[in-house]
Amino acid sequence: MIVLGVESSCDECAAAVVEDGRRILSNVVATQEEFHRPYYGVVPEIASRRHIETIAPVVGGALQEAGLAAAAVDALAVTYRPGLIGSLLVGLSFVKGLALALDKPFVGVDHVLAHLYAPHLEYEIDYPYLGLLASGGHTLIARVEGFDRIQVLGTTIDDACGEAFDKVAKFYDLGFPGGVAIDRLAREGSPEAFRFPWPSLHKGDHPFDVSYSGLKTAVVNQLDQFWNPKYPKSPANIAAAFQKAAVDILVDRLLKAARHTGLGTIVAGGGVAANSYLRRRLAEQPNLRVIFPSLKLCTDNAAMIAGLGYQMLAAGRRDGLELNAEARVAGLRRAYP
**Closest CB 87 distance from Zn ion, rounded Å:** 12
State whether residue 7 is helix, strand or coil: strand
Torsions phi, psi for 227 (to 5 deg): -85, 135
Q: Which of the stretches 57-65, 116-124, 133-141, 227-235 binds ligand KG4 when contact is defined by CB under 6 A? A: 133-141
Kindly tell me which of 254 and 313 has the beta carbon lying closer to ligand KG4. 254
Kindly tell me which of 10 and 73 has the beta carbon lying closer to ligand KG4. 10
Give the residue among 75, 40, 54 at the shortest CA–CA distance from 8.
54
Among 119, 162, 307, 309, binds ligand KG4 (CB under 6 A): 162
The beta-carbon contacts of 95-100 under 8 Å, at least 24 apart in sequence, are 95/6, 96/321, 96/323, 98/4, 98/59, 98/70, 100/321
Q: Report if residue 87 touches ligand KG4, rule: CB under 6 A.
A: no
Among 166, 175, 196, 254, binds ligand KG4 (CB under 6 A): 166
Binding site for Zn ion (CB under 5 A): 135, 300
What order do you get walking across the sheet with 12-19 strand by strand? 23-31, 12-19, 2-7, 75-81, 106-110
**Closest CB 135 distance from Zn ion, rounded Å:** 4
Residues 79, 6: contact at Cβ < 8 Å? yes
**Closest CB 185 distance from ligand KG4, rounded Å:** 11
Residues 5-44, one symbol each (x = binds ligand KG4 by CB under 6 A, - = not), give -----x----------------------------------
- With CB under 6 A as the rule, give the number of residues binding ligand KG4: 20
Q: Which of the stretches 69-77, 149-157, 175-183, 312-320 binds ligand KG4 when contact is defined by CB under 6 A? A: 175-183
Give the length of the chain. 337
Residues 264-293, one symbol each (x = binds ligand KG4 by CB under 6 A, - = not), give ------xxx-xx------------------
Q: By CB under 6 A, what part of segment 293-322 binds ligand KG4?
A: 299-300
Residues 144, 334: contact at Cβ < 8 Å? no
- CA dist 304 and 286 (Å) reads 29
- Residue 37 identity: R
Kindly tell me which of 170 and 206 has the beta carbon lying closer to ligand KG4. 170
Name the DSSP letter for residue 194.
B
Q: Which of the stretches 28-36, 135-143, 215-223, 318-326 binds ligand KG4 when contact is defined by CB under 6 A? A: 135-143
**Closest CB 193 distance from ligand KG4, rounded Å:** 19
Name the DSSP letter for residue 198.
P
Question: Could you count the other beta carbons within 10 Å of the beta carbon of residue 294?
Answer: 11
- CA dist 55 and 59 (Å) reads 6
- CA dist 21 and 168 (Å) reads 37
Residue 159 interacts with which of Zn ion, ligand KG4, none, CB < 5 to 8 Å by class: none
Among 179, 189, 293, 309, binds ligand KG4 (CB under 6 A): 179
Contacts with 280 (C-beta within 8 Å, 6 or more apart), sequence order: none
What is the maximal distance between C-alpha atoms in the chain? 68
The residues of the shown chain that bind ligand KG4, judged by CB under 6 A, are 10, 135-137, 162-163, 165-166, 177-180, 183, 270-272, 274-275, 299-300
